[in-house]
Amino acid sequence: QGNRYYQKDNDLGRVRVRHYSTDYEKVIVQDVPNKFQYKLTTSRTQYDPLLLCALNWFQKTTGSKVFGFFLTSSGRYAKGSIQNRYVFDDGEHFYTKHQAFRRASNWSDANALEEKLNKIIKQFRDEKFVACKTRGYSDFYIIAGGQDLNNENEEIEIEGKVTASKLKNAFMKYNKKRAINRVLVSRFIQGIAA
């Protein structure tokens, strides 16, 4: 793999780099001053262990929130995008759970999971987005892209210090002009303001 391990040598003021594999080695990322330690692991439900580590480190050290957005077509590819990106409340992706049920010949749970996925896809088609709790993110949104997102070079402008109320007002003003999904905007604003 192209994974690299970085270790700062405090005595010499330089960074040493070598390749690593979480399949064969125990890899721990550590930030001593901020009391952060994270073991990198590889799994099917985790796209990039180093990204997940960086997101967790950023949230812990800054107290900030991280919002993820994945744009997909609202057409026939939406189902595949949701299958691969949507995370259920138990932290598992559809594909991982579905494969486990099929390997165990647990067809009733596999069918129930497919029905649950179909409800999520219906919600996506109705609301043009779905939100889930993907690891590493405060909220993760799968949003219908395409022509719905064209904005003709319009921008959201906020004068002075950015506050939750100014951000909300700017989004609402923009929303009236471009008919952005109100449910998505309100959920996003609630996430920022909380």
Residue 155 tokens read as: 């921008």
Residue 81's Cα: distance from chain center in Å? 13
> What's the pLDDT at 176?
57
The CA distance from 114 to 86, in Å, is 13
Provide the b/e sequence for 25-51 (b: ≥16 CB within 10 Å): eebebeeeeeeeebebeeeeebeebbe
Q: Is the pTM of this model over 0.95?
A: no
- Mean pLDDT along residues 112-124: 93
H-helix or E-strand spanning residue 68:
strand 67-72
Q: At 131, which helix (H) or strand (E)?
A: strand 129-132
Q: What is the pLDDT of residues 10-19, one digit of tens each?
A: 555 555 556 6
Pick from 146, 147, 153, 139: nearest CA to 185: 139
pLDDT digits (tens, 9 = 90+) for 47-89: 678 888 899 999 999 999 999 999 988 777 888 889 888 998 8
Report whether pLDDT(1) > 50: no
pLDDT in tens, 134-191: 888 999 999 888 655 555 556 677 777 878 888 888 777 766 555 556 677 777 888 8
Give the angle subtended at the CA of 70 by the CAs of 66 and 72, to the nearest 5°. 165
Largest Cα span, the chain: 60
